Amino acid sequence: MKKMRWYAKTYVGAVMAFFYLPIAVLILYSFNESKSRSYFTGFTLHWYKSLFTNELIIRSLWNTLFIAFASAVLATIIGTAAAIGLSRMHKAAKSLILGFTYLPMINPEIVTGVSLMLLFVSLQGLLEAIGAAPFSFGFATLILAHVTFNIPYVILNVMPKLRQVDNSIYEAAQDLGCAPLQAFTKVVVPDIMPGIVAGFLTSITMSVDDFVISYFVSGPTSQTLPVTIFSMMRRKVSPEVNALSTILFIVVLTVLLLVNMADARREKAMNKRMGANSVG
Amino acid sequence: MAKKISLLLAVLLLIMPLGAAPAYADGEEADSLELMSPRPYYSQLEGQGVSINVYNWGEYISDGSDDMLNVNKAFEEATGIKVYYSTYATNEELYSKLRGGGAQYDVIIPSDYMISRMISEDMLEPLDFSNIPNFQFIDDNFRDPAYDPERRFSVPYTWGVVGIIYNTERIDPEEVTSWEILWDEKYMGDILMFSNPRDAFAIAQQRLGYSLNTADPDELAACLRLLQDQKFLVQAYVMDEIFDKMLGGEAALAPYYAGDAFTMMGENPLLGFSVPDEGTNIFVDAICIPKGSKNKLAAELYINFLCEPAVSAANGEYIGYALPSSAAIDLLDEEISGSPVAYPPQSVIDNAEYFSELPRDANLLMDQMWTELLSTDERYNRLLIPVFLVAAVAASILINVMRSRRKKRQKNYF
Amino acid sequence: MKNEAVIRRSGATQVLALPYVAWMCIFIIVPLALVAYFAFTTSEGAWTLDNVSRVGEFSPILIRSVWLAAVSTVICLVVGYPLAYIISRATGSRQRTMVMLIMLPMWMNFLLRTYAWMTLLEKNGIINRLLGMAGLGPLQMINTPGAVVLGMVYNYLPFMLLPLYSIMTKIDNTTLEAAQDLGANWRQIFTGILLPLSAPGIKTGVTMVFVPAVSTFIISRMLGGGGQLLIGDLIDLQFLGNAYNPNLGSAISLVLMVIILLCMSIFNQFGSEEEMEGILL
C-alpha cells in the first residue's frame, strides 16, 4: 500500500484540479487588461497598483488582522483558563458547560450573528434608556463577537492535551518543593503549550475568514476584509478583487510551505533520533 | 511549534507596511476644483479629528477611477474631515440598517418615498440650511418636494427615470416600447429584474394600469401574480450586479435607472435605453442626516460640498444621473447634458409618476409578497413543518432512550 | 483516592473557568434568549405566536434548503471519503503535501472562491466559451440549483475531508493488512473495519458540512440568481435586507436552530464528545 496506484493518483489529481480551477481563473484574470470577466485582452499589472492605493481595502485588511490577533489573544487566555478549570470540575457541571461550548460551533453562523446583533442593539437601547453614552457597532462589537466564536476552538484544542498530562509529574514537582502555582506554570503549561498554540492559530484562522458574523456586527468604520469584499462584489466588478485574491493566495501558500518545511525537518530529526521506520 | 508562530508572525509583519501605503486612487487634483463656498467655511472643523460616516448607493459617487474626481478625497482635503464611506443596494436595506443595524451614520441618500417614510417615523434630523449656502444652486422645481413638505430634512442629489436597457443586437427598438417585452417568452432566461419590492411592483403596476402608489390589497395581489408569471423567464433578480451582466452580454433585457443606463451605454455601445409608452417611475434621491448623528455640522459641510456646482457636475458625469441644479448642468459635457437618456424630454417626465410613502399595512403586505415572490414555486401544506418538528422530537427522544438502555445493558454485561 | 485528593487540592483552579462561564452566559446564552424573545413578541413587545406560525408559510424554503444541503453533504461524503483514505495511506512528505494542498483553498476567502465560480459558469463564462469552441451549445449552468450545490460542495468539501482524514490516520495499516491476510475481500474490509472505525469522522464531517450548507446565504445569491431563496437569505432579508422584520427573522432563526439541533441529536448515536475534540485537531 505504500505506492499509490494509478487510479488513486488520477482521483486525487481530479479533485485537486476541481479545487484549484476557480483559483487559477481568479489569478489569471487579475492580470487582465480590461475589466471583463470573460475576455482576456492583455497583460497588465495596473490592478495590483490600484489595489495598493485603494484605501478602503488596505484599511479593511488592517482591521481584519488587528481584530483577528486581538480576539485570538483574548480567546486563548480565557479559553485556556476555562479548559484548566473545566478539567478539575465534577462531571455534571463539566458536561453542562461543555454542551454550551459546542453550541456556537454547531449553530449556524447566521443565527450566532443575528443573536449577537440583537444583543448589541438591545444593549444600546438599554444604555440609552439609562442615559449613558451609547456605543456604536465597531471594533468593540467585532472583537467581542470574534472572541465568542473563537473560545470554543481554544477549549477544544487544549482539553485533550490537559487530559494527557500526567498528574504524577505535577505532584512530583510539588513534592520536590514547588508551590502549586509554580508547579503549574513550569510543568503543566509547557506540556499543554502545543494545544494552546494550536488553539491560538485556529482562532486567527477562523477570525480572518469570518464573514457571516462580521457582516451582522460590524460598523462603517471597522469593516473587515470579507465584508468589504462582499460589498465590492455586489457592484460593478473590478479586477482589483482578483488581484487581492492572488495576493492572499500567495501569502497563504508561503505560510503553508514554510510550516510544511518546518514539519518535514522536525520529522526527519525525530526519525534520525529514533532510528526506526516512520509511520505513514 | 515556536517555529510555526514565528513564521506566521514574520509573514504578518511583512504585510504590515501595507498599512502605510498611500491612501487614494489617483484622480483629478482637488486644488483645481473651483469651490463656491469660501475656504474658511470648509476648514472650520479642521484638525479636530472629526470623521463622518457616509452611507450611499453603490456606484453613486465619483470615486477617482477613470481619472475622474475623487469626491471623498477632495472633501477630506478641503475640510480635514475624514470620510468613512459605505454602500447599500436598495432603500429598504438602508432602512433596515438604520432601524436595526446598530451603526450610526451621518449622511444618507435615500429616495423620495423612503424620505417620506423616514420623516413620518422620526428617523431624520432637520437640516440647518444656514450651513448649506450652496442650496442656492438647486433649481426651483426641486425646492418644494412632495416627499419633504416643509423642506426641512433633505437636499436633492440626483433625479431620473426608470426604463429598459436592452441589447440592440438582439432586440429591435420597436419592441421595447412597452413593458410587456419583459414577459416575452422569446427572451426566456435573458431577462433581469429589480431586486427590490417597489421597483419590481412598479413595473407590474405599469402593465396593469394601476397607480404606482396603490395600497389596495387586491391590486397588489394582481401585481404579485403577474410577477410570479414572469419568474420563470427571469435570469436573476439584481441591483448593481446588472452592470456586469449587461456589459458582458449575459442578459439581453433589464429595467433599470436612466443614469446607470447612460454609463453602461458609454462602456458598451451595443446597448440601448428606452422608456416604455405606458409610463414609468420618476424619482429624486436626496441627501439627509439620520437622527442621532454626532457630527451634524460636519455632515452639513459634506452636503454643502456635494452641492458645489463643480462637484455636482463631476458626480453627474461619473454616475450619469440627472442633476437638480442648472449651475451644475451648465458645467457638464454636451454629450451628457444633451442626451435624452440622462436628461429625458418633458414628454417622458409628464408621463411618469413619483413614488410616495405607502401606509404601514401596505408596506407590510408588500414585504410579505416580495418574500413570497422570491421563495420557491412549490406549494406545501402549512402544517408540514410543525408535524415534522414533532415527529423529529419524538424520534430523537426514542433514540436517546434506546441508546441509554443499550449502554446500561452493555455495562451489566461486563 | 489519589485523584480525589488532587481534585480537592486544586478546587481553586475551578475558578479559572469562571471568566469563561460569565462570557458564555453573556454572549451565548443571553443572545439566544433574545432571539427567542423577539421570536415570540411583536414589534411593540406584546406576546404572540404569530411569527412562529408564519414560519409555516416558508416551509417550501425550509424543505428546499434542507434538501440542497443534504445533497451537498452526500456528495461531499462520497467524494471526500476515498480521498481521505488515499491521503491517509500515503507516506510522509507526500501526505503532508497533499494535506497542505487541500487546506490551501480553505484559507482563501470564501466569497472570492464562490465569485470565481461565477466567472466559470456564466453564459459567456469560460466553460461555455470552451464548449463553444468545441461546437457545443452554451449550457445554462449559473442561476440553477445545481450551481448552488456545486458552490456548497466546493466550499465545504475540506470540512468533510479533514475530520475523515484525521480519523483515518488513526486506523493502522496493519489492521487492514491482517484482515486481508485472513481472507477478507474489499467489501468486507470496508463494511466491517473501515466504516465502523471511521464513523466518528463521518459524523463530524457531516455536521461540519450540513450546518453551514443549510444556512448559507451568499452562495444562493451569487450562484442561484436571487429568485430561489434559501433559509439564510430569508433570515438576512428580515434583518439587513429588503423586508425589515426582526421578529419574523428571529422566529425563522429559532426554527432553523431547533431543526439542526434535532438532526444532530438524532445523528448523535454514533459517538461521544471526546471523539469530536480529537477530530478537530
Domain count, chain C: 1
Which pLDDT value is given to residue A64? Answer: 92
Lookup: cell for C152: 456548497
Query: How many residues comprise chain C?
Result: 281
Residue pointed to by grid coordinates 509511520: A279
Is residue C260 scored above 80 in pLDDT?
A: yes
- Please tell me the distance from the alpha carbon of residue A21 to that of residue A26, in angstroms, as a whole number: 9
The amino acid sitting at B239 is M
- Please tell me the distance from the alpha carbon of residue A41 to that of residue A29, in angstroms, as a whole number: 10
- Please tell me the distance from the alpha carbon of residue B351 to that of residue B340, in angstroms, as a whole number: 15
pLDDT, tens digit (0-9, with 9 covering 90-100), for A73-98: 999 999 888 888 887 778 888 888 88
Average pLDDT, chain C: 81
pLDDT band at A2 (very low <50, low <70, confident <90, very high): very low
pLDDT, tens digit (0-9, with 9 covering 90-100), for C188-247: 777 777 888 888 888 888 888 999 999 888 888 888 888 788 899 889 988 888 888 889
CB spacing of A58 vs B84 below 8 angstroms: no
C272 touches chain B (CB under 8 A): no
Percent of the residues in chain B that have a pLDDT greater than 90, as a whole number = 44
CATH number of C164's domain: 1.10.3720.10
Which residues of A fall within a CB distance of 8 Å from B24? 53, 55
pLDDT, tens digit (0-9, with 9 covering 90-100), for B24-38: 444 444 456 788 888
pLDDT, tens digit (0-9, with 9 covering 90-100), for B230-252: 988 898 898 888 888 888 888 99
Which residues of B fall within a CB distance of 8 Å from A136? 102-104
- Please tell me the distance from the alpha carbon of residue B117 to that of residue C95, in angstroms, as a whole number: 61
Lookup: cell for B104: 450610526
Is residue B2 scored above 70 in pLDDT?
A: no
Listed residue (A35, A21, A220) closest to A137, CA to CA: A220
| Chain center to CA of A33 | 34
Give the residue on B whose Cα is nearest the Cα of C64.
B376
The minimal CB distance from B103 to the residues A37, A58, A219 is found for A219
Residue A2 lies in a domain: no
- What does residue B194 show for φ and ψ, rounded to 5 degrees? -60, 140
Residue C69 lies in a domain: yes
pLDDT band at B10 (very low <50, low <70, confident <90, very high): low
Is residue C120 scored above 80 in pLDDT?
A: yes
Residue pointed to by grid coordinates 441644479: B325
Average pLDDT, chain A: 83
Which residues lie across from B124 on neighbouring strands?
B290
pLDDT band at B101 (very low <50, low <70, confident <90, very high): low
Listed residue (C247, C219, C45) closest to C149, CA to CA: C219
B301 contacts B74 by C-beta, under 8 angstroms: no
Is residue C113 scored above 90 in pLDDT?
A: no
Residue C42 lies in a domain: no
Lookup: cell for B167: 441589447
Select, from the ranges A30-44, A182-196, B67-81, the one with the highest average predicted confidence (pLDDT). B67-81
Complex prediction ipTM: 0.83
Residue A164 lies in a domain: yes
Please write down the HEC assignment for all residues of B174-218. Answer: HHHHCHHHHHCHHHCCCEEEECCHHHHHHHHHHHHCCCCCCCCHH
Any idea what DSSP says for residue C38?
A: H
Other residues' Cβ atoms within 10 Å of the Cβ of residue C167? 23
Which pLDDT value is given to residue A130? Answer: 84
Which strand (E) or helix (H) includes residue B167?
strand B155-167
Other residues' Cβ atoms within 10 Å of the Cβ of residue A278? 11
Residue-number span of the structural domain to which A196 is assigned: 54-239
B272 contacts B166 by C-beta, under 8 angstroms: yes
CB spacing of B237 vs C226 below 8 angstroms: yes
Which pLDDT value is given to residue B23? Answer: 41
The minimal CB distance from C266 to the residues B376, B380, B399 is found for B399
Which pLDDT value is given to residue A280? Answer: 44
pLDDT, tens digit (0-9, with 9 covering 90-100), for A191-214: 788 888 888 988 888 898 889 999
Is residue B158 scored above 90 in pLDDT?
A: yes
A232 touches chain C (CB under 8 A): no
Residue A31 lies in a domain: no
What is the least distance, in Å, from the CA of A153 to any CA of chain C?
Answer: 9
Residue A101 lies in a domain: yes
Is residue B13 scored above 70 in pLDDT?
A: no
CB spacing of C123 vs B90 below 8 angstroms: no
Which pLDDT value is given to residue C88? Answer: 85
pLDDT, tens digit (0-9, with 9 covering 90-100), for B191-220: 999 998 999 999 999 999 999 999 999 999
CB spacing of B86 vs A231 below 8 angstroms: yes
| Local structure of B322: helix, strand or coil | strand
Residue A179 lies in a domain: yes
Which residues of A fall within a CB distance of 8 Å from C173? 1, 280
DSSP per residue, C91-119: -HHHHHHHHHHHHHHHHS-HHHHHHHHHH
pTM over 0.90: no
Which pLDDT value is given to residue B27? Answer: 43
Domain count, chain A: 1
The arithmetic mean of pLDDT across residues B366-389, rounded, is 71
Which pLDDT value is given to residue C57? Answer: 80
pLDDT, tens digit (0-9, with 9 covering 90-100), for B38-63: 888 888 888 888 999 999 998 899 88
The amino acid sitting at A261 is M
Is residue B113 scored above 90 in pLDDT?
A: yes
Is residue C138 scored above 80 in pLDDT?
A: no
Select, from the ranges A256-270, B172-186, C56-70, C178-192, the one with the highest average predicted confidence (pLDDT). B172-186
The arithmetic mean of pLDDT across residues B326-349, rounded, is 89
Give the residue on B whose Cα is nearest the Cα of C145.
B376
Which residues of C fall within a CB distance of 8 Å from A37? 118-119, 122, 125
Is residue B124 scored above 90 in pLDDT?
A: yes
> What letters, b where the CB count within 10 A reaches 16 and e where it falls short, cover B52-84?
bbbbbbbbbbbbbbeebbbbbbbbbebbbbebb
The amino acid sitting at A214 is S
The arithmetic mean of pLDDT across residues C57-69, rounded, is 86
Q: Which site among C141, C220, C244, C281 would you substitute to test the B interface, given the most B Cβ atoms closer than 10 Å to its Cβ?
A: C244
Which pLDDT value is given to residue C141? Answer: 82
Residue-number span of the structural domain to which C230 is assigned: 58-277
pLDDT band at B413 (very low <50, low <70, confident <90, very high): low
Which pLDDT value is given to residue C262? Answer: 78
Strand extents, DSSP E, chain C: none
- Please tell me the distance from the alpha carbon of residue C126 to that of residue A37, in angstroms, as a whole number: 9
Any idea what DSSP says for residue C227?
A: S
CATH number of A83's domain: 1.10.3720.10
pLDDT, tens digit (0-9, with 9 covering 90-100), for A216-232: 988 888 889 888 888 88
- Please tell me the distance from the alpha carbon of residue B123 to that of residue B101, in angstroms, as a whole number: 13
Listed residue (B316, B50, A6, A98) closest to C276, CA to CA: A98
pLDDT band at C276 (very low <50, low <70, confident <90, very high): very low
pLDDT, tens digit (0-9, with 9 covering 90-100), for C145-175: 888 999 999 999 988 988 888 888 888 788 8
Residue A198 lies in a domain: yes
Which pLDDT value is given to residue B28? Answer: 45
User: What sign results for the dihedral spanned by CA atoms A102, A107, A111, A113?
Assistant: positive
User: What sign results for the dihedral spanned by CA atoms C223, C224, C225, C229?
Assistant: negative
Residue A188 lies in a domain: yes
Please write down the HEC assignment for all residues of chain A. Answer: CCCCCHHHHHHHHHHHHHHHHHHHHHHHHCCECCCCCCCCCCECCHHHHHHHCCHHHHHHHHHHHHHHHHHHHHHHHHHHHHHHHHHCCCHHHHHHHHHHHHHHHHCCHHHHHHHHHHHHHHHHHHHHHCCCCCCCCCHHHHHHHHHHHHHHHHHHHHHHHHHHCCHHHHHHHHHCCCCHHHHHHHHHHHHHHHHHHHHHHHHHHHHHHCCHHHHHHCCCCCCCHHHHHHHHHCCCCCCHHHHHHHHHHHHHHHHHHHHHHHHHHHHHHHHHHHCCCCCC
Specify the higher pLDDT residue, A137 or B111. Answer: B111
Is residue B116 scored above 90 in pLDDT?
A: yes
Which pLDDT value is given to residue A50? Answer: 84
Is residue B290 scored above 90 in pLDDT?
A: yes
Which pLDDT value is given to residue B379? Answer: 54
Listed residue (A152, A165, A46) closest to A103, CA to CA: A152
pLDDT band at B166 (very low <50, low <70, confident <90, very high): very high
Average pLDDT, chain B: 85
Is residue C9 scored above 60 in pLDDT?
A: no
Any idea what DSSP says for residue B353?
A: E
What is the least distance, in Å, from the CA of C232 to any CA of chain B?
Answer: 12
Residue A36 lies in a domain: no
